[in-house]
């Protein structure tokens, strides 16, 4: 039975929303957005969502979109009739003197519908409504929406399922005049008789072409992919790189590489040439992260998760299999390290030092990983009063 009749006022709208939310199959909180998709030969090359909404954002409009779009479980191209009905029901908000970014996004999607880009590609309105972030994406528009959620800070890395995403995305030549199928770039150039500059060939574009988060500095926007999560106060230097589904949770200095899946917590400095172990290939299924106020010195590497106030010496790559020398007496009283030592020491023997794989020390805080200059042994020692300092406040006051 229809619940949307002739909405003439905001009170009418609120009453309709109440009825929709009382429906038995109403899914509850949802993530949603309206955007513009670029298509070539029927294939979606990219989708831009000017606004993405979380479970607490504009819940009335979310309910209306869910109802009018016939309760979709996957994203799809919006029919003209769907947009018309939504805009009609939202008329009471037209002249209320307030900003309505979602209504503006819906209008933009409609205005772009049917347009042709300079390279002959079609623009169409798209709509995504997600009721469960744990389910895998269903098509390319869904993937783009989830990447937008990450870069808009609506969900944190690992907070949304991205399984199978690469099989849903096209390999695109991203040009100064818009995206084109990489396999068709020469044909498009000949057909349009125009030379275009190709900035990259990839399935995932630069984040800044779609989303610019507040309070960040990015010296080279080509080094940050859509789907990166950059916390307020983050600075990414020219050689710094941040992959999708990865990023920083607060103020951070990024001069090295944050690989897919890696998260860097507030107050941490990732030095020049630093490598962090991602989860895209190579069989690694350990999620790498740092705690707060860590220092990964120049050309170091991190292959285990660490806690707060940890320092990794320049040039040292700490992998899960790296042999680490641990002093029983230096760490006396530290429950985590004592448990590692006790579990490694043969029964009946008391050793001053034991050697363990670095993976056993995952999550350690207040530690320094270093290579002993005399013996060449990699060891971990308590931080003690050795404090590396802190981030330059002026650089992160964005």
Q: Give 32-72 pLDDT, tens digit per residue.
A: 999 999 999 999 999 999 999 999 999 999 999 999 986 55
Give Cβ neighbours of residue 137 (< 8 Å, ≥ 6 apart).
Answer: 143, 146, 161, 162, 163, 164, 165, 168
Q: How much is the pLDDT for 74? A: 46
Last residue of some domain: 134, 160, 186? 160
Spatial distance between the Cα atoms of 239 and 227, rounded to a whole number of angstroms: 19
Number of structural domains the chain divides into:
2
pLDDT for 396 beyond 80: no
Q: Is 180 a domain residue?
A: no
Q: Is 229 a domain residue?
A: yes
Q: Is 219 a domain residue?
A: yes
pLDDT for 75 beyond 80: no
CATH assignment at residue 44 = 3.30.70.2010
Same domain assignment for residues 140 and 41: yes
Among the residue ranges 240-254, 301-315, 331-345, the one predicted with the least confidence is 331-345
Domain that holds residue 254: 207-321+363-380
Q: Is 350 a domain residue?
A: no
Closest to 364 measured CA to CA, from 339, 336, 338? 336
Q: Which one has a higher pLDDT value, 190 or 95?
A: 190
Spatial distance between the Cα atoms of 176 and 181, rounded to a whole number of angstroms: 14
Confidence of residue 340 (pLDDT cuts 50, 70, 90): confident
In 3-state terms, what secondary structure has residue 146? helix
Same domain assignment for residues 107 and 23: yes
Q: Is 391 a domain residue?
A: no
Q: Give 86-130 pLDDT, tens digit per residue.
A: 999 999 998 888 899 999 999 999 999 888 888 889 999 999 999
pLDDT for 264 beyond 80: yes
Q: How much is the pLDDT for 336? A: 83
**Burial label, 116 (beta-carbon count in 10 A; 0-12, 13-18, 19+):** exposed
- Residue 80, CA distances (Å) to 68, 77, 151, 233, 257 in order: 12, 9, 29, 41, 44
pLDDT for 297 beyond 80: yes
Which amino acids are annotated catalytic? 255
Report the predicted TM-score, pTM, of the whole model to 2 decimal places.
0.93
In the chain, pLDDT over 70 holds for what percent of residues? 94
Name the packing angle between helices 59-68 and 10-21 (round to 10°).
70
Q: Which one has a higher pLDDT value, 117 or 397?
A: 117
pLDDT for 355 beyond 50: yes
Q: What is the largest CA-CA distance in the chain?
A: 83
Q: How much is the pLDDT for 339? A: 84
Same domain assignment for residues 146 and 217: no
Q: Is 136 a domain residue?
A: yes
Q: How much is the pLDDT for 137? A: 94
pLDDT for 283 beyond 70: no
Same domain assignment for residues 137 and 40: yes
Q: How much is the pLDDT for 113? A: 87
Residue 192 has a CB neighbour count (10 Å cut-off) of 14
pLDDT for 327 beyond 90: no
pLDDT for 187 beyond 70: yes
Confidence of residue 353 (pLDDT cuts 50, 70, 90): confident
| Token pair of 358 as six digits | 């670095």
Give Cβ neighbours of residue 97 (< 8 Å, ≥ 6 apart).
Answer: none
Q: How much is the pLDDT for 1? A: 39
Q: What is the mean pLDDT of the chain?
A: 91
Among the residue ranges 86-95, 164-173, 225-234, the one predicted with the least confidence is 86-95
Same domain assignment for residues 145 and 279: no
Q: Give 21-35 pLDDT, tens digit per residue.
A: 999 999 999 999 999
pLDDT for 13 beyond 60: yes
């Amino acid at each position: 039975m229809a619940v949307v009749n002739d909405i003439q006022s905001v009170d009418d709208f609120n009453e309709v929303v109440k009825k929709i939310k009382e429906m038995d199959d109403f899914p509850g909180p949802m993530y949603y957005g309206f955007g513009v998709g670029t298509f070539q030969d029927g294939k979606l090359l990219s989708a831009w969502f000017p606004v993405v909404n979380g479970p607490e954002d504009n819940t009335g409009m979310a309910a209306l979109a869910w109802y009018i779009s016939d309760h979709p479980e996957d994203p799809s191209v919006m029919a003209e009739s769907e947009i018309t009905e939504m805009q009609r029901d939202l008329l009471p908000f037209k002249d209320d003197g307030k900003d309505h970014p979602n209504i503006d996004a819906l209008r933009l999607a409609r205005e772009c519908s049917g347009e042709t880009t300079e390279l002959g590609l079609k623009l169409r309105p798209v709509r995504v409504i997600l009721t469960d972030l744990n389910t895998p994406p269903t098509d390319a528009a869904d993937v783009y929406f989830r990447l937008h959620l990450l870069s808009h800070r609506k969900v944190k890395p690992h907070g949304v399922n991205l399984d199978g995403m690469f099989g849903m995305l096209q390999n695109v030549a991203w040009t100064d005049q818009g995206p084109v199928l990489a396999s068709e770039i020469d044909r498009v150039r000949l057909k349009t008789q125009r030379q275009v500059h190709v900035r990259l060939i990839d399935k995932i574009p630069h984040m800044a072409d779609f989303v610019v988060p507040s309070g960040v500095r990015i010296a080279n926007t080509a080094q940050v992919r859509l789907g990166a999560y950059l916390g307020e106060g983050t600075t990414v230097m020219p050689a710094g790189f941040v992959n999708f589904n990865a990023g920083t949770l607060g103020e951070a200095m990024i001069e090295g590489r944050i690989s897919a899946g890696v998260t860097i917590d507030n107050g941490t400095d990732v030095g020049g040439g630093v490598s962090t172990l991602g989860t895209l290939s190579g069989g690694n299924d350990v999620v790498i992260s740092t705690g707060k106020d860590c220092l990964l010195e120049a050309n170091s590497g991190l292959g285990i998760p660490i806690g707060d106030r940890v320092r990794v010496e320049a040039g040292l790559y700490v992998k899960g299999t790296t042999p680490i020398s641990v002093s029983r007496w230096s760490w006396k009283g530290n429950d985590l390290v004592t448990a590692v030592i006790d579990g490694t020491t043969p029964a009946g023997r008391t050793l001053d030092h034991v050697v363990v794989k670095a993976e056993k020390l995952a999550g350690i805080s207040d530690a320094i990983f270093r290579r002993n200059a005399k013996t060449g042994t990699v060891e971990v020692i308590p931080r003690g009063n050795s404090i590396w300092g802190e981030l330059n406040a002026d650089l992160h006051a964005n």
